[in-house]
A and B are shown apart, each in its own frame.
Chain A
């Protein structure tokens, strides 16, 4: 009796999961693991949808080079264990030829450890670029976003020096390793440039009130504050500083939420330093993006999907160069030697070589709200930084 029951329960459980996705000959199977829900979804769900929209449009237009893309999407909730099981599913069941991650840095480790073992390349298209993609780059790992804790810090400090060369700088980080590492790096650069540091404040993930952290930065004499962490944390730090009457400038990372939020906050002292273009510019590139979103009828803010859109462009270009062999190996070979035109959504191209899976040159722009024009403005146009 028992056995039969359990067996029944088990087959029931087994049918729960979706069957394997079978690839046609002219189809490239790509796995997308994204934080579509959970605490980080506010940042990553939109870019992931943007990427999907781009790929859908590619397929509707008949694919690239005669190849269509079958995009397998699993939600990882920004959670490491879920990402691990997504990775297993991609590799053992869906037989993907490429994995794309649009999720938190917490999900990188499980994906990297599994995909590299199977020789399947990973494209990080939503979040910070892991150190493994910088020179000397690990094989198989590529990053198309402009977020790099080290380079963002360099660009932030550089711009800060242009504005005010002898400001005392405070740093606001979140208690996750990658944010702390970024701010430590920024402090080193600041000290190396003979500027003064007001110290790094690290807020634990469950912080209820950022005021005490802000107070400490203010009392240490911070005239400018750099922040590099998830948007929700950066902005709460900034709020807490302003609430205490602090009048300095804050420089924060340019995340997916940035443009929409800055238009709401309307504070000219809040600068974002990053490598994506903003939608308000109304350039050819952004017009195309907005038109595509409008046309699709999907409920998405164009401002929030730029990184996902760029991820789509990368896929298009990589597949365009791909020959008849659509194996993971062949895709990796194309990716390790390619230059991708970012079509005006970035300052320059994305160029990957054997040794560099990030960029040889990265361009940063600084944006802020302008009280004079009552609109967003470019505080400083693209500036190139070499990646060593």
Chain B
């Protein structure tokens, strides 16, 4: 039964990270390959706030959330805005470059050693007994809760709020949306901000649960098949894609060969993309415009 809990926790992690890919892709058709680094940056921001500004964990986390919003906004305003109107691939490669830049900068600032964030914040990551045979850590529990909240919030936002509608409209047809008076730059900035925010939540919780070093940005890459399997422009698709990949990974670790858990998600990704290139829940006409 512990396996089920593990699958749920891993699904939440991948889903939370994948939501960041989807948000940006949905509105601007840009695949943000720096998402893993932005996610880890969120965790490092927590380290910085708790060391430099306040020792109260809750205030530190709240401040980190604010900072991550500023980061997301600046990434768009300072960098990605320059890439609007450029070919999509150039924008994607820009995010690759941003990832490398962030990685180097984070090591320059915080050093290469692994940081024990939980102990820095005196957050006790206690084991929570759910049933006799199921235990999860406090941070994992928060991860699941946050993922649910973020997804509910995002879905409500996209489908019910005015700006959410505008975001969807811009994603479906930027030209038409612009003609209707939607400011595309605001919409894109919003998408980048939300994406960085949700990524930072994932980064903070992962860091609280295990530890923190720059190599953890690779989680972004591992959440990648999840976003693609579900369909890059579908938020609920990302959730289901995350589930597929997490089930696969945990079962491979448990019953087959743990080393395959690195390889198989990508093979599944290819298989699904060959059958349904737009992913399980993606929009079909997508492809013609990519």
Query: Which residues of A come within 8 Å of B, CB atoms?
Result: 37-42, 45, 175, 201-213, 215-216, 218-219, 231-232, 235-236, 239-240, 242-245, 257, 261, 264
Contact = CB atoms under 8 A, between A and B. Distances in A.
B211 A209 contact: no
Contacts of A210: 210
A208 B213 contact: no
A209 B3 contact: no
A205 B112 CA distance: 16
B25 to A, nearest CB: 21
Contacts of A41: 112-113
B223 to A, nearest CB: 8
B9 interface: yes
Contacts of B113: 41-42, 257
B2 A264 contact: no
Contact of B125 (A42, A218, A243): A243
Contact of A206 (B13, B135, B209, B222): B222
Contact of A208 (B114, B140, B214, B222): B222
Nearest to A244: B135
B259 interface: yes
Contacts of B129: 245
- Among A204, A206, A211, A244, residue most surrounded by chain B Cβ atoms (within 10 Å): A211
A13 to B, nearest CB: 22
- Among A45, A240, A243, residue most surrounded by chain B Cβ atoms (within 10 Å): A243
Contacts of B9: 209, 211
Chain B contact residues: helix, strand, loop or mixed: helix
A41 B111 CA distance: 9
Nearest to B120: A264
A213 B258 contact: yes
Given A204-B262, A243-B135, A209 B114 contact: no
A204 B114 contact: no
Given A211-B9, A212-B254, A243 B211 contact: no
A216 B253 contact: yes
B218 interface: yes
A45 B111 CA distance: 11
A216 B3 CA distance: 9
A153 B62 CA distance: 46
B167 interface: no
A216 B254 contact: yes
Contact of B206 (A208, A231, A245): A208
Nearest to A37: B112
A215 B210 contact: no
A174 to B, nearest CB: 10
Contacts of B84: none
A38 B112 contact: yes
Contacts of B216: 208
A245 B112 contact: no
B94 interface: no
A235 B213 CA distance: 13
Given A208-B206, A212-B6, A213-B253, 4 more contacts: A206-B262, A209-B9, A209-B10, A236-B210
B111 to A, nearest CB: 8
A215 B140 CA distance: 14
7 shortest A-B CB distances, which residue pairs?
Answer: A42-B113, A41-B112, A243-B137, A204-B262, A206-B218, A208-B219, A212-B253
Contacts, number: 101
Nearest to A239: B210
Interface string B212-253: 011110110110000000000000000000000000011001
Contact of B13 (A209, A235, A245, A264): A209
B54 interface: no
A42 B114 contact: yes
B172 interface: no
Contact of A215 (B2, B112, B116, B218): B2
Interface in B83-128: 107, 111-114, 116, 119, 125, 127
Contact of A201 (B107, B135, B222, B258): B258
A257 B216 CA distance: 19
A212 B114 contact: no
Nearest to B258: A202
B74 interface: no
A215 to B, nearest CB: 5
Given A37-B107, A41-B112, A213-B253, A208 B218 contact: yes
Contacts of B218: 206, 208
Contacts of B219: 208
Contacts of A37: 107, 112
B262 A215 contact: no
Contacts of B114: 42, 231-232, 235, 257
Contact of A39 (B112, B119, B140, B249): B112
Contacts of B250: 212
A240 to B, nearest CB: 8
Contacts of A242: 127
B77 interface: no
25 contacts: A37-B112, A39-B112, A175-B258, A175-B262, A202-B259, A203-B258, A204-B262, A206-B262, A209-B13, A211-B140, A212-B6, A212-B249, A212-B254, A213-B253, A215-B254, A216-B254, A232-B211, A232-B213, A236-B210, A236-B211, A239-B211, A243-B136, A243-B140, A257-B114, A261-B116
B119 A264 contact: yes
A206 B221 contact: yes
Contacts of A42: 111-114, 213
- Among B107, B136, B254, B261, residue most surrounded by chain A Cβ atoms (within 10 Å): B261
Nearest to A219: B2
Interface string B130-161: 00000111001000000000000000000000
